[in-house]
Amino acid sequence: MTAAKSQSRIAIVGAGFSGMAAAIRLLQAGQENIVIYEKADDVGGTWHHNRYPGLCCDTPAKAYVYSFEPTANWSSLYPKRDEIHDYCRFVAEKYGLIPRIRFGQEICRAEYDGSGHWQLETRQGLKDTADVVIMATGVLHHPYYPDITGMDTFAGATVHTACWDDDLDLSGKRVGVIGTGATAVQLVPAIVDQVGTLTVFQRSAQWISPSGNKNTPQERRDMLRRNPELMFDEYHRVMEKIETLVEGLRTMEDQFYRDLRDACQAHLETITDPELRRKMTPGYDPGCKRLIFADKFYPAIQKENADVVIDAIQQIEPAGIRTADGALHELDVLILATGYRMHDYMRPMGITGADGLALDHVWEKGAFAHRGMTVPGFPNMFMLVGPNSPLTNYPVIAVAEIQMEYLMQLIQPVLDGRYASVCATPAATEKFNKDLVEATANTVWTTGCDSYYINDAGIPNVWPWSIDEFKASMQAPELSEYLYERPAGLSAEVTVQKQLQTGTTGLRERG
């Protein structure tokens, strides 16, 4: 007699978009024994933690939703932080997730006990046992602090944009911003008129495409609420445009990419000062780094109280930043718009797999996973939006939904009690990652920029094929790529699916 699938305990780590997608899909499949561990006191992940001035999403609002839950509650083409967080809360409440979330509980240890179970422990001392663990920690939750000499000697206020201080007063202050990525591009226009002087320290220039952002009239929003089908239609229409964008960036071949490159160049030429325009001109192709969409950054840095410094930072002193040319830039406030440690994933969580295998050891030369979701030696542990998932300008919500459909098929035999565990085989993982490296060589991400896409092994940690190929690869698991283990004492006659009756299945009996 197999165990009832409701007895399978599933622990989800993270209550951001990916974690909520996982929980909703599991509930739809009848899985009730679900717990979500969230280190914060609310849902939303990065949209809960981040609240710096000017924060919004650079994905169009109509596509930054779950495919099954579009909304008309967007006040502009690109969604603002507060509206995104409100949407997360709305979804969590509508789908009954709040009672299943353990807020303020950060998983610090996850250990596989060898019998199909994971022993979990939170930093706050709570312990749990789960049959399946889904890591939905995302990549935007560990702020990156640059290693600059004298950082702790600065006499003024220092703040990272990911840990914004709501009480920070910038009025009339001499403010320095380190970084010109997507965060700085949003922050600078929001504060330039408030500060006394604004000095932006740039390591490398970014390609910025005009966003065409505009407010959505209330009557339009009301009309969409009255016509839900239209909201679904618009979701799919915008997603098609995004897929065209991602494909154009990846291949750099079609007319769409040439038009995009021309638009970026034309936008750059709105900087009237030739010297400033030179500073802001990237030395690589658009798309090598994540393409930024913004209208207000170039006008902001051309204001009289703004300056862009491209000399390398030599050190930080009590009075400000000294650059390699010897100049001291005196500051009252230092803002670090330096992004995140993108390749940490669920670390620094201590994760131990089968036979005492430590994930830190496995990933010491760079994070990897089979199809972005599983690591050999770590049975019944899965990631959403893990290494080599589509992480360019494609919506992370859509990635999580697609991966969950694949994952549901993969773990169903475990949830049914027919098998104790499932894990990717080393051979399949090695082949997948070899194919990734070969495919990446022909993409924009290897054209010469220093990008956060590049992992510790020097390889772009992104999906190198088309979005259509990603969707096709997620239609159904190729079972020969996985090892299923039977519970001790279960008859060897049990099969997973009819497909397992032929070919190499990777199944192994335990006990």
Q: What is the pLDDT of residues 17-26, one digit of tens each?
A: 999 999 999 9
Does a cis peptide bond (omega within 30 degrees of 0) precede residue 390?
A: no
CB 64 within 8 A of CB 397: yes
Is pTM, for the whole model, over 0.75? Answer: yes
Segments in 218-293 forming alpha helices (H): 218-226, 228-251, 255-268, 274-279
3-state DSSP helix/strand/coil % of the chain, to nearest 5:
35, 20, 50
CB 122 within 8 A of CB 105: yes
Element (H, E) at 410: helix 396-415
pLDDT tens for residues 117-161?
Answer: 999 999 999 999 999 999 999 988 899 999 999 999 999 999 999
For residues 379 and 410, give the distance between their C-alpha atoms in angstroms, rounded to a whole number.
12
Q: What is the pLDDT of residue 406?
A: 98
Q: Residue 488: which pLDDT band, with cuts at 50, 70 and 90?
A: low
Residue 286: closest CA among 307, 272, 266, 300: 266
Examine the pLDDT at 511 and tell me if it is beyond 80.
no
Residue 186: closest CA among 308, 34, 300, 19: 300
Examine the pLDDT at 500 and tell me if it is beyond 70.
no
Tell me what the mean pLDDT of segment 432-461 comes to: 87
Exposure string (b/e) for 116-132, b if CB count within 10 Å is 16 or more? bbbebbbeeeeebebbb
Q: What is the pLDDT of residue 506?
A: 39
| Cα 82 to chain centroid, rounded | 18
Q: What is the pLDDT of residue 279?
A: 98
In this structure, the number of other CB atoms found within 10 A of the CB of residue 229 comes to 8
For residues 339 and 336, give the distance between their C-alpha atoms in angstroms, rounded to a whole number.
8
Exposure string (b/e) for 158-193, b if CB count within 10 Å is 16 or more? bbbbbebeeeeebeebbbbbbbbbbbbbbbbbbbbe
Residue with tokens 């060897």: 492
Looking at the DSSP bridge assignments, the partners of residue 457 are: none
Helices (H) and strands (E) in the chain — how many of each? Answer: 13, 21
Looking at the DSSP bridge assignments, the partners of residue 127 are: 121
Q: Residue 215: which pLDDT band, with cuts at 50, 70 and 90?
A: very high
The CA-atom distances, in angstroms, between 164 and each of 48, 51, 306, 334, 337 are 11, 6, 21, 12, 11
CB 410 within 8 A of CB 417: no
Q: Which two tokens stand for residue 190?
A: 């929001």
- The percentage of the chain sitting over the pLDDT mark of 70, rounded to a whole number, equals 94
Tell me what the mean pLDDT of segment 252-279 comes to: 94
CB 105 within 8 A of CB 368: no
Examine the pLDDT at 508 and tell me if it is beyond 80.
no
Q: Which amino acid is at 453?
A: Y
Q: Residue 249: which pLDDT band, with cuts at 50, 70 and 90?
A: confident
For residues 140 and 198, give the distance between their C-alpha atoms in angstroms, rounded to a whole number.
26
In this structure, the number of other CB atoms found within 10 A of the CB of residue 109 comes to 15
Tell me what the mean pLDDT of segment 392-401 comes to: 94
Min mean pLDDT across 180-184, 340-344, 395-399, 432-436 is at 340-344
Whole-number average pLDDT of the chain: 92
